[in-house]
Amino acid sequence: MFLDTQKITHEIRMKHWMQIIAQRQQSGLTVKEFCAQQDIPIKQYYYWQHKLRIRFAPAQAPETKKEEVP
């Protein structure tokens, strides 16, 4: 039986960050305040928030619009 360890590791990280983001939302704190209290880099928080939005709510994830160059 072959286990894709990268896929499993990624799934574990996704679940971990889902919990962190849920904790932040329930805390009532701003992202900056929560990250400071939990010693989490803000960029890392937003990275995982973005990854989760893309995976679970792709219609709500902000699209990156590229300007057309004439």
User: What pLDDT was estimated at residue 60?
Assistant: 60
What pTM was estimated for this model as a whole?
A: 0.71
Cα 53 from chain centroid (whole Å) = 7
User: For residue 66, what pLDDT is reported?
Assistant: 45
What is the residue extent of each domain of the chain?
7-56
The identity of residue 42, as a single letter, is I
pLDDT single digits (tens) 14-67: 999 999 999 999 999 999 999 999 999 999 999 999 999 888 776 665 554 444
CB burial of 31-41 (b: ≥16 within 10 Å; e: otherwise) equals: eeebbeeeebe
